[in-house]
Amino acid sequence: MASENERSVKRLAYADPPYPSQAKKHYEDHPDYAGEVNHAALLAHLAGYDGWVLHTASVALRDVLPLCPPDVRLMAWVKPFCAFKRNVSVAYAWEPVIVKAARKPTVRHRVVMRDYIAEPITMKRGLTGAKPEAVCFWAFEVMGAERDDDLLDLFPGSGAVTCAWQAWREQGSLLDAENATP
Q: Between residues 177 and 166, which one has the greater pLDDT?
A: 166
> Is the CATH number 3.40.50.150 carried by domain 10-177?
yes
Give the helix/strand (H/E) hosting 76.
strand 73-78
Delimit the domains of the chain by residue range. 10-177
Please classify residue 133 by burial: count the beta carbons closer than 10 Å to its beta carbon, then call 0-12 exposed, 13-18 middle and 19+ buried. middle
Gap between the Cα atoms of 20 and 37, Å rounded: 7
Average pLDDT, the chain: 82
pLDDT exceeds cutoff 70 at 71: yes
What's the pTM? 0.81
Q: Between residues 108 and 59, which one has the greater pLDDT?
A: 59
Q: What is the largest CA-CA distance in the chain?
A: 55
Percentage of residues in the chain having pLDDT higher than 90: 49
When pLDDT is cut at 50, 70 and 90, the band that residue 86 belongs to is confident
